[in-house]
Amino acid sequence: MNGIRRALALTMGDPAGIGPDLALFAWKNRVALDLPAFFLIGDPDMLDHRAKMLGFEIPLIETSPDRAAQEFNTALPVLPVALATTALAGKPDPTNAAAVVEAIRLAVELTATGRARAVVTNPIAKSVLYAAGFGYPGHTEYLAHLASEASGMPDGPPMTPVMLLAGPHLRVAPVTIHIPLRQVAGALTSASIVETGEIIARELVSRFGVTSPRIAVSGLNPHAGEEGALGSEDADIIVPAIAELRANGINAFGPLPADTMFHAEARAEYDAAICMYHDQALIPAKTLGFHDSVNVTLGLPFIRTSPDHGTAFSLAGKGEARADSLVAALRLADSMARTQAASKSSAA
């Protein structure tokens, strides 16, 4: 099958959140927004009920991934995953956690086997999944587990996922992700910074079409350590990592004070930034592009994007949630898939 004719696999996210609302809005406005074809993995009854709550007249068609692209213009293609309990907008229920996780697993399986072009995930509520026994810190780590399974080497070294926030004004990735701030300095290593930088540089070329990536690297401490006066990690861990990246042919530079590397003039000097911990990266990303930044998982054998926001239970079913970030995630997944296909074709 022609790869461009395959649809994107979109998960429902938490069915009590705004994910279903956003997906329904995106399909309803698919022509005006010029969206790529996607199919939604979720419960058809829940989606029909939510569409009626929102006042949308949306035909749903239960589908297979192979038919979705052809059906997309006339109906919203849905790959059914049944919920255990009726999902009420704004009222998360752990009994539906298994269906939420299954939708993610299916999206990965279909993309890894070539039946979907990329994975796009709607927001999940980690606390709801934890209550049902979910054993991963978040989407990113679970996707890495699924990627290892899809590779046929589940017992081999775990794949390294890199969480990149990509917006119209900034691409930025944290080296450490979902750990408490007090643990960051102990978890940070030169090797992890190098691996993050190598993955970003490689995928900026293969999936974003950046021919000669420039990567800015932040410090950990205020003023990047102030020559050791404010901490030794910058000199002992980050400087050697940057040197190794440069020795490997990657245009990385720093460590830069995090408080001065995100203004417009500074951002013009790099194609992506690496930060040392979660909030150091996500605060500027969300400040500069709260409604249209996209969460991208790099380092996997498939493309995955997601809206850069949460489930917003208080907005579910009310028609008040903005779909900008999901629209951006769908468009970016499509663009990345096209760039990757072109890159593979030119290398053949």
Which segments in the chain show pLDDT lower than 70?
1-4, 151-158, 348
Smallest CA-to-CA distance from 306 within 165, 112, 102 is with 165
Residue 159, classified by CB atoms within 10 Å of its CB into exposed (0-12), middle (13-18) or buried (19+), is middle
Reported pTM: 0.92
Distance CA 122, CA 46 (A): 15
Same fold, 1-159+300-348 and 160-299: yes
CATH 3.40.50.970 is held by the domain 160-299: no
Residue 14: the pLDDT is 95
Residue with tokens 């990113």: 140
CATH topology of domain 1-159+300-348: Isopropylmalate Dehydrogenase (3.40.718)
DSSP 20-52: HHHHHHHHHTHHHHTPPPEEEEE-HHHHHHHHH
Residue 127, classified by CB atoms within 10 Å of its CB into exposed (0-12), middle (13-18) or buried (19+), is exposed
Distance CA 276, CA 103 (A): 31
Each residue's pLDDT tens digit, 212-238: 999 999 999 999 888 889 889 999 999
Per-domain boundaries in the chain: 1-159+300-348, 160-299
Residue 2: the pLDDT is 47
Residue 155: the pLDDT is 53
Angle between helical axes of 190-206 and 239-247 (0-180°, round to 10): 40
Residue 83: the pLDDT is 95
Each residue's pLDDT tens digit, 286-329: 999 988 899 999 999 999 999 988 999 999 999 999 999 999 99
Smallest CA-to-CA distance from 332 within 303, 298, 291, 300 is with 303
| Residue pair 98/84 in contact by the 8 Å Cβ criterion | yes
First to last CA, the chain: 18
Cβ neighbours of 272 (radius 10 Å)? 24
Residue 163: the pLDDT is 93
* Strand pairing class (294-298; 214-218): unpaired
Distance CA 157, CA 168 (A): 34
